[in-house]
């Protein structure tokens, strides 16, 4: 049966961030993920995780100035030193939190920069991150994001993601497959997951349209979850959706899959 992790950036937003861990545990989640831990001392978050009996399964590497619209720096020429420092910070946090996966966001293509240069920069940075993270026992993930929600994002399809991973030559880089983003970009969710199962280390979910909870849109999640169970997907499924009302009111979809 698939294992579900609460995304605390999106869920339980009715309470302060540090209180969302306990809210997730009370709702029955055994694991959490979220965008960034860096606004809080790592020891504080580690203590909260332990007190709530939760596993931290994913967070992102630092991704530039999020408030100003940046969505990653890994593919951006001229930011390599900043990226390398960010990798070190991410490893420190992940190690303290017991988190064994870090998502590396490519970023939005700057005007006037050739696609080839972005590709070259991203591959080199992924190689660096993969080497540093492997030494710490942490996997690096690459996520494709739809360009309707995030225009100009450098990585926007499954095959592009896999080609980038291949270009690194590393055995420590995997795909993070976001169902919502890939439904918007290419569809064929079940066939894609099944074909590339060995290369997908983490899955995230939200329905489309609206990016709300499963059952509110066009995706057949009952079929998809059954498929994950049947083909033996062993990773976590991150619940990265926006509840239409409150988080608790939107958790009915999860009842058959709670285990």
* C-beta neighbour count of 213 within 10 angstroms: 26
CATH of the domain at 129: 3.20.20.150
**Helix, strand, or coil (residue 35):** coil
The rounded distance, in Å, linking the Cα atoms of 243 and 52 is 22
Burial class (CB in 10 A: 0-12, 13-18, 19+), 186: middle
Active-site residue numbers?
143, 240
CA distances from 257 to 28, 203, 252 (A): 11, 16, 10
The rounded distance, in Å, linking the Cα atoms of 42 and 46 is 6
pLDDT at 1: 84
Q: List the domain range (segments joined by +) for residue 47.
A: 3-257
The rounded distance, in Å, linking the Cα atoms of 49 and 72 is 26
**E-strand stretches of 172-235:** 173-178, 200-205
**Helix, strand, or coil (residue 216):** coil
The rounded distance, in Å, linking the Cα atoms of 172 and 201 is 11
What is the tens place of the pLDDT at every residue in 198-212?
999 999 999 999 999
Range from 4-8, 117-121, 151-155, 254-258 carrying the lowest mean pLDDT: 254-258
Taking residues 174-179, report their average pLDDT.
98
- Please give the share of the chain, as a percent, with pLDDT higher than 90: 98
Please give the tally of structural domains in the chain.
Answer: 1
Q: If we measure between CA atoms, which residue out of 223, 231, 209, 217 comes closest to residue 257?
A: 223
The rounded distance, in Å, linking the Cα atoms of 170 and 191 is 25
The rounded distance, in Å, linking the Cα atoms of 143 and 92 is 21
- Indicate whether 125 pLDDT > 90: yes
**Helix, strand, or coil (residue 66):** helix
Taking residues 2-29, report their average pLDDT.
97
């Amino acid at each position: 049966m698939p294992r579900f992790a609460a995304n605390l950036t999106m869920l339980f937003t009715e309470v302060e961030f540090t209180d969302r861990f306990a809210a997730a545990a009370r709702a029955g989640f055994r694991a959490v993920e979220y965008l960034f831990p860096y606004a809080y001392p790592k020891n504080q978050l580690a203590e909260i995780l332990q007190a709530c009996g939760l596993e931290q399964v994913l967070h992102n590497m630092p991704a530039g100035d999020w408030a100003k619209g940046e969505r990653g720096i890994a593919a951006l020429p001229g930011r390599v030193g900043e990226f390398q420092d960010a990798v070190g910070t991410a490893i420190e946090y992940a190690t303290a939190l017991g988190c064994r996966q870090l998502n590396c966001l490519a970023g939005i293509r700057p005007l006037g920069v050739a696609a080839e240069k972005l590709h070259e920069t991203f591959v080199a940075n992924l190689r660096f991150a993969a080497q540093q993270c492997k030494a710490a026992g942490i996997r690096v993930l690459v996520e494709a994001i739809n360009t309707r929600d995030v225009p100009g994002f450098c990585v926007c399809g499954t095959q592009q993601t896999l080609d980038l991973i291949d270009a690194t030559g590393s055995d420590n880089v995997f795909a993070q497959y976001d169902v919502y983003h890939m439904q918007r970009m290419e569809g064929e969710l079940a066939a894609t997951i099944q074909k590339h199962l060995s290369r997908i280390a983490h899955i995230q979910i939200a329905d489309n349209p609206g990016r709300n909870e499963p059952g509110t849109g066009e995706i057949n999640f009952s079929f998809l979850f059954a498929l994950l169970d049947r083909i033996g997907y062993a990773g976590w499924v991150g619940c990265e959706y926006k509840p239409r009302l409150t988080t608790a009111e939107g958790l009915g979809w999860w009842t058959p899959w709670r285990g």
